[in-house]
Structure 1
Amino acid sequence: MAYRKNPITAAALAVAGAFLTVASPAFAAQPITGKWTTEDGDAVVTIQKCGSSYCGRISRFLVVPPQGVDQRDVNNPDKTKRNRKLLGMPVLTSLEEDDTEWRGRIYDPKSGKDYRSVLRRISASRLEVKGCLGPFCQTQVWKRAN
């Protein structure tokens, strides 16, 4: 007995394939671009495209640092970077989309330390930001800035 194509089955498969193609972006990482207030409420970080990846720069202080708005990166272990201004400095770097998350690096200017980072949008107004050292992570929730 020869196998014959069923036109109804072929049409159903085409519709199902089109649905999966349209539905698959729902599993992608949600966009993280925009302005975000850090969990401690002392700064706004603007996340945007930076070359081939994404980065986040300190775009505004909500609490003025000890040395004023011209605060320098005094805690950086690299002495050549200690004179750079915190305002405008990237604290999130090399962010790449990875399934439902964004992975890259996060720099903490208060400690001068750099960590592996994982970001994930929780909602339209909340961003989960993890800084990880080995298997240990510290999580903050940043809120969309006004």
Structure 2
Amino acid sequence: MSPVGLWRNLDDKTGEAKAEIRITETGGAVNGRIEKLLRKNAKPDEKCVECRDERKDQPMVGLEIIRGAKKAEGKEVWEDGKILDPENGREYRLRLTPVDGGRKLDVRGSFGPFGRTQTWVRVQ
């Protein structure tokens, strides 16, 4: 089981699909980019106005939101990476855990002792 592939993330509050994210592996680390925006009111030319680094004002489609997660020794978990929330521009410590036979991905972003987990669904 691997996080590599195309995933659909869902809004925590409404359960509606927000985006499709493509996770790839390069040099033992996984990275992920927004491939398609799925929100009803999404604009095709939407930019990351809240981003604070080189991603500021970059288009949301193609934006790298996952960086540098590596497979943990002896576990089906990828960690030590970062995930960007483009809605608020903050980066969080990241842990990716494939579940349900690789059909779902638990994506945990944390900051200090606080965090939240989203479950993303693999796009077939």
- TM-score strictly above 0.5: yes
The answer as to 2:118 corresponding to 1:144 is no
1:45 to 2:16 alignment? no
Q: Which amino acid aligns with 2:52?
A: P
**Distance in 2, Cα, partners of 1:136 & 1:48:** 27
Letter in 2 for 1:74: V
Contact in 2 for aligned 1:100/1:120 (Cα 8 Å): yes
| Equivalent in the alignment of 2:67 | 93
Give 1 or 2: higher strand fraction: 2
Distance verdict in 2 for CA 1:65–1:75, change over 3 Å: farther
Aligned to 1:42, the other structure's residue is in SS state strand
The number of equivalent residue pairs is: 115
| Identical positions, percent | 29
Match of 1:81 among 32, 55, 72: 55
Instruction: Give 4+ residue runs of structure 1 displaced > 6 Å after superposition.
Output: none
Question: Matched residues in 2 for 1:84 and 1:50: separation?
Answer: 22
The residue type equivalent to 1:47 in the other structure is I
Paired residues of 1:75 and 1:111 also in contact (CA < 8 A): yes
Matched residue type, 1:106: I
Q: Which has the higher helix share?
A: 1
Q: Aligned residue for 1:36? A: 7
SS of the equivalent of 2:66 reads strand
Q: What does residue 14 of structure 2 align with?
A: none
CA distance in 2, matches of 1:92, 1:43: 14
1:26-62 deviation line (CA, Å, top 9, x unaligned): xxxx311110000221100010113441101001111
- Normalized against structure 2, the TM-score is what? 0.84
Q: TM-score under structure 1 normalisation?
A: 0.72
- In 2, Cα distance between the equivalents of 1:81 and 1:54? 18
Root mean square deviation of aligned Cα: 1.6
Match of 2:84 among 100, 107, 121: 107
Distance in 1 between the 2:107 and 2:116 partners? 8
1:72 aligned residue:
47
